[in-house]
Amino acid sequence: GGGGGGAQGQPQDNCPGQEHPPPPQCILFRTCLLAASHADVKGKPCEDHCILQHSNRICVITLAESHPLLQNGKTIKSINYQISANCSRLQNKVSGKFKRGAQFLTELAPLCRISCSDGEEYTVSSCVRGRLMEVNENILDKPSILQEKPSTEGYIAVVLPKFEESKSITEGLLTQKEYEEIVVKRVNNRPETS
């Protein structure tokens, strides 16, 4: 039998022709999930990502407000969706109801690399297993929106997890509250400059 329960009184999620969600800034996302990365051995600040998951499973990958790119006045020099010689996220072409042609991503798959004028480079990862629906080409022309509006117009990419995995992906991520607790701890545990 088809599993009952779920979204009662919300038929708009299943309307035909509504496969393409409105641009992220128009959607009221139900859940804001965060992937807090742990400082690596070089002691770099944690490069946190924020995943906005809509009730229709769509996940929008954005930078969390604690990401170094959104701190201390960094200037973005370039954003590159070319991951390797043979792989560009810009070549992702999705067609039809079954999203043919979409690149499949693992949690650790890089989405783009962002270079700053101070020589630092940051890689933004998918954080979610699923198909790449789109990347935000607007940030290529106007990198500043990534910093000015990271959770709306400055999003990185849109990923659609498999239906059967859409619940489990959220288990490895933090809620806003858990994330804020980690950030507070992180600030409190910051070692004095050695």
- pTM, two decimal places: 0.75
User: Tens of pLDDT along 5-44?
Assistant: 444 443 333 333 333 433 333 333 445 666 666 544 344 5
User: Domain map of the chain by residue range?
Assistant: 31-84+103-163+171-187
Buried b (16+ CB within 10 A) or exposed e, 147-172: beebbbbbbbbbbbbeeeebeebbee
Mind listing the pLDDT tens digit for each residue in 68-90? 899 878 899 999 999 999 999 99
The residue among 156, 131, 146 whose CA lies nearest residue 57 is 131
Cα 76 from Cα 98, distance rounded (Å):
36
- Please identify, in words, the CATH class of the domain defined by 31-84+103-163+171-187: mainly beta
